[in-house]
């Protein structure tokens, strides 16, 4: 007999708490194989195809395209062992029982199905957080309800849980009726139905007690929209009569959700500004000799060397002399952690927004290898195929904002790194060269650093060495 298993949105790594459904790859009634991609989601870091660890027939999908789901929310249900869509009665029963609360009968039966023998024992080849690849999960014991609770005397059976549809209907009634918000009394103790830390943070900032909210998500899960409705409810009650049709309300304008890549960038930059006491120093440098050296390299044949690759080699050499800037701060232990490897991030502007791909082990790469890796990661960023591994783990960032036609900037450190080097455009300017006024190729370099890891002398020494290498590339020969 087919067993209906629920596949929940897995933890896609690096602390991601939610993802947006971009495109469903299967429909209800489709037969899927183990590890077959079933949905394409966009996280704060990348576009990811999510494989299903079960094989069978898709009986239900949760969420339309464009819907944002928290990690752990149901994605779909699969009838394992079935070869066609179950009957209407079976499908209805599965839709009501499987997405039930993780503390209720639905989760218990789902776990039992996962632990049963037969077709359900087929393992997944892909490792997803929360989904193994070998032996089936053990059957869970059902959580016993408190006999002294409001359900009645100890000998009386506990009432059956209300179906999910009733919860949704009740929520809709609260939000559309006279009541200002879906706020209901809640027990003083026990867990709160919240998964996303962003929802908790928003409620804390607004001074809202999450125990008084009834969630509109699956199994009463409290979503961000529930918090926003509860916060806006008092203001809704005090709104005066509608203004004339031609009038424009104060503060009216387009609202763009901060989610996906844009939301991740906003969170990370705000955290950097909040936690890191940064400082910036800058210097102008004559890049004429560096440009001539690059032209000579490319004229010699072989793969072309990019300017960014030469600047990366200079950064790696400078970090070897000043390792304080290749570090991060562990405030919990009150320690500065100096990192032995240089994983070099570089800022890249794409259609999806600003991303910072990471070149692994940049200190072991040649200029040719760096050029090839920069090209590969840039193309993947523009195509939206960067993986979370491509976007995490950086120890230092190189930001070439000169491609936007600007000379200088005070970059924000890419948390939790300790420094970022900014490079402006290279333009002809009057410059004193060998005692004579001449037109030279000049670039402005800026270094923003975490003042906790070093003082201005170290930062100034790093930037001065970078400028010396830009002006006289032969200086690099001492470290090769």
Active site residues: 451
Residue 341 CA: distances (Å) to CA of 344, 364, 387:
9, 9, 21
> Which residues lie below 8 Å from residue 441, measured CB to CB, with a gap of 6+?
286, 287, 288, 291, 426, 427, 428
Rg (CA), the chain: 29
Buried b (16+ CB within 10 A) or exposed e, 302-316: eeebbbbbbbbbbbb
Would you put residue 370 in left (φ > 0), alpha (ψ -120 to 50) or beta? Answer: alpha
Residues 6+ apart with CB under 8 A from 277: 450, 451, 452
Four-residue CA torsion sign, 51, 56, 57, 58? negative
Residue 47, C-beta contacts closer than 8 angstroms, at least 6 positions apart: 22, 40, 41, 384, 385
For 45-63, b where at least 16 C-beta lie within 10 A, e where not — what string? bbbbebbbbbbbbbbbbbb
DSSP state of 183: B
DSSP 11: B
Helix (H) or strand (E) holding 70: strand 68-70
Cβ proximity of 47 and 61 under 8 Å: no
| Cβ neighbours, 10 Å, residue 41 | 22
For 356-419, the DSSP string reads --EETTGGG--HHHHHHHHHHHHHHHHHT---GGGGS--SEEEEEGGGGT-S---PPP-TT-SE
Q: What is the DSSP string of 15-59?
A: T--EEEEEEES--TT-EE-TT-EEEEEE-SS-EEEEEPS--EEEE
Contact 422, 411 (CB under 8 A): yes
**What is the Cα–Cα distance from 3 to 129, expressed in whole angstroms?**
22
Q: How far apart are CA 475 and CA 317, in angstroms?
A: 10
Cα(first)–Cα(last) distance of the chain, in Å? 68
């Amino acid at each position: 007999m087919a067993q209906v298993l629920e596949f929940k949105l897995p933890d896609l790594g690096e602390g991601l708490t939610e993802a947006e459904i971009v495109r469903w790859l299967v429909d209800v009634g489709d037969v899927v194989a183990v590890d077959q991609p079933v949905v394409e989601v966009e996280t704060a870091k990348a576009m990811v195809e999510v494989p299903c660890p079960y094989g069978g027939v898709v009986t239900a999908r949760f969420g339309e395209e464009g819907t944002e789901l928290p990690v752990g929310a149901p994605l779909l249900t699969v009838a394992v062992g079935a070869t066609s869509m179950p009957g209407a009665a079976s499908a209805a029963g599965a839709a009501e029982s499987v997405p039930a609360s993780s503390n209720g009968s639905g989760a218990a039966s789902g776990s039992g199905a996962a632990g049963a023998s037969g077709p359900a024992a087929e393992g997944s080849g892909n490792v997803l957080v929360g989904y193994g690849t070998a032996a089936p999960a053990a059957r869970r014991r059902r959580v016993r309800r408190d006999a002294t609770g409001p359900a009645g005397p100890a000998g009386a059976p506990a009432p059956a849980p209300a179906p999910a549809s009733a919860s949704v209907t009740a929520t809709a009634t609260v939000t559309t009726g006279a009541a200002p918000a879906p706020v209901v009394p809640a027990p003083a103790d026990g867990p709160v139905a919240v998964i996303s830390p962003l929802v908790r943070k928003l409620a804390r900032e607004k001074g809202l007690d999450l125990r008084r909210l009834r969630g509109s998500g699956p199994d009463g899960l409290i979503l961000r929209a529930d918090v926003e409705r509860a916060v806006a409810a008092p203001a809704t009650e005090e709104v005066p009569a509608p203004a004339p049709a031609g009038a424009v309300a104060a503060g009216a304008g387009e609202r763009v959700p901060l989610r996906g890549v844009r939301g991740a960038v906003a969170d990370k930059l705000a955290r950097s500004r909040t936690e890191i006491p940064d400082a910036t120093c800058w210097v102008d440098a004559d890049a004429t000799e560096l440009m001539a050296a690059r032209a000579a390299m490319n004229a010699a044949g072989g793969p072309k060397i990019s300017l960014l690759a030469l600047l990366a080699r200079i950064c790696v050499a400078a970090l070897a002399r000043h390792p304080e800037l290749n570090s991060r701060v562990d405030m919990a232990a009150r320690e500065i952690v100096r990192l032995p490897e240089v994983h070099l991030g570089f800022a890249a502007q794409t259609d999806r927004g600003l991303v910072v791909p990471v070149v692994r082990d940049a200190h072991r790469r040649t200029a040719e290898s760096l050029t090839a890796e920069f090209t590969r990661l840039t193309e993947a960023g523009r195509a939206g195929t960067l993986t979370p591994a491509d976007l995490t783990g950086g120890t230092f960032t190189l930001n070439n904002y000169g491609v936007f036609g600007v000379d200088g900037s005070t970059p924000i450190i890419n948390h939790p790194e300790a420094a970022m080097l900014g490079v402006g455009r290279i333009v002809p300017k009057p410059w004193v060269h060998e005692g004579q006024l001449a037109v030279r190729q000049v670039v402005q370099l800026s270094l923003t650093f975490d003042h906790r890891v070093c003082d201005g002398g170290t930062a100034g020494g790093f930037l001065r060495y970078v400028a010396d290498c830009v002006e006289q590339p032969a200086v690099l020969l001492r470290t090769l």
